[in-house]
Structure 1
């Protein structure tokens, strides 16, 4: 495919992905109130346990409407996950063989639950992080947290974990397309573990090592599973090549 057609295809897929996210954001606009209360609940629970007044503070005139747009967009990205991931697959699809296209459906089917699983893990980590961080507020004190900073932190956390959990899908896809061999992933396992723990340390702002370990272990486990899949695939390809050799 010529470069111009590639660029046109990218534009098309980005446009369709944006349309799906916008439609999801419209749905998110009507779900804003329950989602906002769910995002704020870890703060309220921590305040009740610590006997402190902790709540989000909308410091500007337009802060509330700005946050409603941001949270709606965040919901739109989550609910439209199958759609924008399909657009990513559709961009690669013209360059694939018929057999590789069948693999792509499997990648799409695994990528969506992995992304949502990573988002769920971030949601599980959030109350623990909020609890630890608000423990430093003195008793009978008030802690007014800027709504934009808090909600932006929560949304970035959820999206970052969702994207991190797509790592095995990318690994297997590159292997099945013949771009990266399994031995390359195997040689880099130490770096993968280091990056997983560094990512967990940065994205879980709590001083306890246990939470960091519980977050890093699933990422390392997914890397290992993807490595096994890539290894099995490479061995099957090698046997096929040997059988065809004169």
Structure 2
């Protein structure tokens, strides 16, 4: 394909992905109230007002509409994810080798469940985190501000979901040959310290529950990734032993230091004169829809 054809294909796939996101946005807009009711369950269970009612503070007249649009957009991206991810993959896959596509399928199959697992863990941490935050403070609010609460929940879910992609990065380094499993295992002290420091800095929840749980899960996922890397290293070593036998890495290969003689080439004839180019007629329809 030419460059213009690649750009045309990219335009088509972006258009299809956009249509899918718009359809998902419409579905999310229809179920936005139910989605909001589901998100506010941990807040309602706290019963801050004491009368069993679940009410938020709204500081701006447009907060309700903006929250509805934001939730609809997030729901649309999640619902339409199979479509726009396929369009992205269909544009990239023709440029990959067979083994690279096989790796992409494997890592894609791992990344999706890990993100869902992290988001589910964030939902489990949220009620205890809210309870600790409100009980540990010097004030006891009667109601929370709605936009801040939605931002707190979405940031917590995204942080846990994206953090659970950490073992995928380690496996990419191992399968690409950048780091061996034994070498990654030697980093365990530094990795555990970085996991706890990362959880303490970026977690929007200041309570010890979210930080400790996130750091512990990241540490466990690190050791799981190292175990898979060690198994892959053993598989790679067995494959190499079958192909190269007992050859040492530093062993010099046998080379033939007596190459055949190269005979003299035939003389090159004098070049013929180049004729003058014929004029090109001007075309008025040379511009296509891309240019």
TM-score (norm 1): 0.79
Which stretches in structure 2 are left out of the alignment for 5+ residues?
248-291
Q: Which runs of 5+ in 1 are unaligned?
A: none
State TM-score, norm by structure 2.
Answer: 0.68
Cα pair 2:110 2:168 within 8 Å, conserved = yes
Q: Does 44-53 or 125-134 show the bigger shift?
A: 44-53
If each structure's strand is expressed as a fraction of its own residues, which one has the higher value?
1
Task: Look up the match of 2:175.
Answer: 176
Asked if the contact 1:52–1:138 (Cα under 8 Å) also holds between the matched residues in 2, the reply is no
Q: What is the root-mean-square deviation of aligned Cα atoms in Å?
A: 3.5
Give yes or no for the alignment of 1:102 onto 2:102.
yes
Greater C-alpha radius of gyration:
2
State the shift of 1:223 in Å: 1.6
The structure that is helix-richer by fraction is: 1
Deviations 1:5-45 (A, max 9, x none): 99998888776655544433322111111111121121221
Report which structure shows greater RCO (CA 8 Å, sep ≥6). Answer: 1
CA distance in 2, matches of 1:228, 1:51: 52
Deviation readout 1:76-130 (Å, 9 max, x if unpaired): 3333444455556556534533233223222222221111111111111111111
| Structure 1 pair 230–84 and aligned structure 2 pair: CA distance change class (3 A) | farther
Does structure 1 residue 156 correspond to structure 2 residue 155? yes
Kept after mapping to 1: 8 A contact 2:48/2:142: no
Counterpart residue number, 1:28: 28
Q: 2:55 corresponds to which residue?
A: 55
DSSP 3-state at the match of 2:56? strand
- 1:225 corresponds in structure 2 to 224
Residues 173, 138 of structure 1: CA spacing in aligned structure 2 closer, same or farther, 3 A cutoff? closer
Contact map agreement 2:203 2:210 (CA 8 A) in 1: no
| Aligned CA distance change for structure 1 residues 110 and 240 (closer, same or farther; 3 Å) | same
